[in-house]
């Protein structure tokens, strides 16, 4: 839900709008539930409190008497939206109390208590004023309506709610009578990617060590040398700690001159071949994610080696990203596949040419389900599916038809796959790759090249 809220902001659906809708829904339920006219609101300093401030305004419009108890000081309200709605109540002379001690909280004489202390973000033990307020609510003997979740759910102190108004989607393991309220988030907001999808990737911590954020093995090169280098540099810019490129002999020597940041493993011939399997197996064991296919070509020995590599990845459960020349019919695909429409037809036999993204959705989802992979289908609107969920990405522009942007996407996907599930990694990578392209397009129009995207990846990832 936090990621979805962030995506809504990205799409222009402002938190203030969602808070207004949530508060109005809360007020309607409170009016239906109250057996009298006096309602007490016990509010925390976050967005749950903000929802209840909106509800107080609507309840007053229904002719009910509302008293708002804020746990703490108004200047400590933590979000702009909640603070704005508190200020509206203050300017309209509502019955407001800033509580600094539990002795100031009297719940006698009310017909309903609205619990808006904590939402889903509470962590650890609840102590102090908030703990005392939860005890007071539970001992009051009054009907209690909780906002989104009962405050303190799964902690040491939990409000015993008679009913809960939860927003947009049901939350797991909710006790009691749950009312699901629509707050104006359209279904499309859960389909299209946004900055919130980056929140679902694991982050570096202060105690992180080298390698904790991902060791990526790129298997590529042969006829083409630039492609695996682009993937490797993209993975580094997307946050991977260590990137190794395993490439055929001539390509490896060229790639090693591209950047001192890339570790290069030279293979035995001028193309990938089964004789390289002992080296590759050892490298695969030392890396978290294997990304392959970029620039490999289609030599018969290369296809044979790819079959052995993919079989080993599948049997060992290795996180795998499969792109470009590794997308061949009959290979044991595993992990994430990143085809364009032509490559998708090659591996599936299904033509998606001249079809819009809505027409493509069904075949992509069904192929992902049948093969047990996550498909990231590149296009004007990218489609991502694990066979159940379906996501779409609208970032990107026609300038990205330049060669190499798919190699960059493969590298970003691999870096994210070291820090998230296959679906979440593919979704976030599609967004970041397209967003980086959009940032380049503003400056260079159709003069962009793939290396420009790599330099914009950190900025594209900073748009949370």
Q: What's the CATH number where 270 sits? A: 3.40.1190.20
Alpha carbons 110 and 106: distance in angstroms, whole number: 9
Q: Are strands 336-337 and 319-322 parallel, antiparallel or unpaired?
A: parallel
β-partners of residue 385 are: 375, 390
78 and 126 in a single domain? The answer is: yes
Q: What is the mean pLDDT of the chain?
A: 95
Domain boundary among 162, 186, 210: 186
| 274 C-beta neighbours (distance < 10 Å), count | 15
- Please indicate, yes or no, whether residues 30 and 81 belong to a single structural domain of this protein: yes
Each residue of 106-125: pLDDT tens digit?
999 999 999 999 988 787 89
Pair (126, 249) in one structural domain: no
Residues 6+ apart with CB under 8 A from 368: 374, 375, 385, 386, 387
Question: Tell me, what's the pLDDT at 207?
Answer: 67
pLDDT of residue 463: 59
Percent of the chain at pLDDT > 90 equals 92
Q: Residue 236: how many CB atoms within 10 A of its CB?
A: 21
Query: How confident is the model over 293-307, as pLDDT tens digits?
Result: 999 999 999 999 999
Residue where a domain stops, chosen among 167, 186, 205: 186
Please tell me whether residues 283 and 152 are part of one structural domain: no
Which residue, 161, 186, 211, sits at the end of a domain?
A: 186
Contacts of 332 (CB under 8 A, 6+ apart): 307, 310, 311, 314
Looking at residue 464, its pLDDT comes to 41
The domain of 105 spans 2-186
Q: Which of 179, 123, 130, 121 is nearest to 159 (CA)?
A: 130
What is the chain's length?
Answer: 464
The percent of residues in the chain predicted with pLDDT above 70, rounded, is 99
Same domain, 176 and 205: no
Confidence of residue 206 (pLDDT cuts 50, 70, 90): low
Question: In terms of domains, do 306 and 436 share one?
Answer: yes
Q: How far is CA 363 from the centre of its chain?
A: 24
Statement to judge: residues 270 and 410 lie in one domain: yes
Q: Which two tokens stand for residue 309?
A: 């590599």
Q: Among 132, 186, 144, which residue's Cα sits nearest to residue 34?
A: 144
Pinpoint the alpha helices (H) of 1-153: 2-11, 15-33, 47-61, 80-91, 128-139
Considering the domain architecture, whether residues 364 and 418 belong to the same structural domain is answered as yes
Report the half-sphere exposure of 335 (CA within 13 A, side-chain side).
Answer: 33
Return the bridge partners of 322, or none: 292, 337
**Eight-class DSSP state of 170:** P
- CATH number where 90 lies: 3.40.50.10260
295, 374: one domain? yes
Query: Which residues does residue 390 pair with via DSSP β-bridges, in sequence order?
Result: 385
Lowest average pLDDT, out of 11-25, 172-186, 273-287, goes to 172-186
Contacts for 351 with CB less than 8 Å, ≥ 6 apart: 341, 345
Strand pairing report for 215-219 and 242-247: parallel
Taking the C-alpha atoms of residue 445 and residue 400, their distance in angstroms, rounded to an integer, is 10
Question: Are 238 and 282 part of one and the same domain?
Answer: yes
Rounded distance, CA 273 to CA 268, Å? 8
208 has pLDDT over 90: no
Q: What's the whole-number mean pLDDT along residues 310-332?
A: 97
Backbone angles phi, psi at 203, to 5 degrees: -115, 160
Are 171 and 199 members of one domain? no
- Residue 226: which of 327, 303, 326, 296 has the closest Cα? 296
Give the separation between CA 387 and CA 375, rounded to whole angstroms.
8
Taking only the tens place, the pLDDT of each residue in 137-181 is 999 999 999 999 999 998 999 999 999 999 998 888 888 899 999
**DSSP sequence for 224-272:** -SHHHHHHHHHHHHTT-SEEEEEE-HHHHHHHTTT-TTSEEEE-SSSS-
Residue 157 and residue 242 in one domain? no
Q: What are phi and psi of 457, to 5 degrees?
A: -60, -50
In whole angstroms, what is the distance from residue 45 CA to residue 266 CA? 58
Per-residue pLDDT tens over the stretch 437-464: 999 999 999 999 999 999 999 999 985 4
Query: What separation in angstroms does the CA of 162 have from each of 33, 153, 278, 403?
Result: 10, 14, 64, 60
The tally of domains found in the chain comes to 2
Query: What is the DSSP secondary-structure string of 98-120?
Result: EESSGGG---TT-SEEEEES--T
């Amino acid at each position: 839900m936090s990621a979805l809220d962030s995506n809504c902001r990205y799409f222009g659906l402002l938190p203030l709008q969602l808070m207004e809708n949530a508060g109005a829904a809360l007020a309607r339920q409170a009016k239906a539930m109250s057996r009298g006219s006096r309602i007490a609101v016990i509010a925390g300093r976050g967005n749950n409190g903000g929802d209840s401030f909106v509800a107080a305004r609507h309840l007053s419009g229904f002719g009910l008497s509302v008293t708002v108890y804020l746990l703490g000081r108004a200047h400590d309200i933590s979000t702009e939206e909640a603070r704005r709605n508190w200020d509206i109540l203050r300017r309209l002379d509502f019955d407001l109390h800033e509580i600094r001690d539990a002795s100031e909280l009297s719940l006698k004489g009310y017909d309903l208590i609205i619990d808006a202390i904590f939402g889903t973000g509470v962590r650890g033990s609840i102590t102090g004023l908030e703990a005392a307020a939860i005890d007071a609510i539970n001992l009051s003997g009054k009907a209690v309506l909780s906002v989104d979740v009962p405050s303190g759910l799964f902690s040491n102190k939990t409000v015993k709610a008679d009913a809960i108004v939860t927003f947009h989607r049901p939350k797991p393991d909710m006790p009691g009578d749950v009312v699901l309220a629509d707050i104006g988030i359209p279904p499309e907001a859960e389909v299209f990617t946004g900055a919130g999808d980056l929140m679902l990737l694991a982050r570096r911590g202060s105690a992180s060590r080298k390698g904790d954020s991902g060791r990526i093995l790129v298997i590529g090169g042969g006829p083409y040398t630039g492609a695996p280098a682009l993937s490797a540099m993209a993975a580094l810019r997307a946050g991977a700690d260590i990137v190794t490129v395993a490439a055929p002999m001539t390509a490896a020597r060229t790639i090693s001159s591209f950047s001192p940041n890339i570790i290069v493993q030279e293979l035995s011939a001028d193309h990938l071949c089964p004789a390289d399997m002992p080296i590759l197996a050892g490298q695969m064991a030392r890396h978290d994610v294997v990304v392959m296919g970029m620039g490999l070509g289609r030599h018969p020995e290369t296809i044979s080696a790819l079959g052995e590599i993919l079989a080993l990845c599948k049997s060992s459960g290795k996180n795998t990203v499969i792109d470009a020349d590794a997308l061949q019919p009959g290979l044991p695909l595993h992990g994430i596949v990143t085809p364009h429409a032509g490559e998708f037809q090659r591996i599936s036999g299904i033509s998606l040419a001249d079809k819009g993204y809505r027409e493509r959705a069904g075949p992509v989802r069904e192929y992902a389900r049948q093969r047990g992979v996550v498909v990231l289908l590149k296009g004007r609107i990218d489609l991502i599916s694990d066979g159940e969920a379906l996501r779409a990405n609208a970032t990107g522009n026609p300038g990205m038809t330049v060669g190499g942007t798919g190699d960059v996407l493969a590298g970003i996907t691999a870096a994210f796959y070291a820090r998230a599930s296959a679906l979440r990694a593919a979704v976030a990578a599609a967004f970041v790759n397209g967003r980086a392209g959009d940032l380049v397009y503003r400056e260079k129009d159709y003069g962009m090249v793939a290396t420009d995207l790599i330099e914009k990846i950190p900025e594209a990832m900073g748009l949370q």
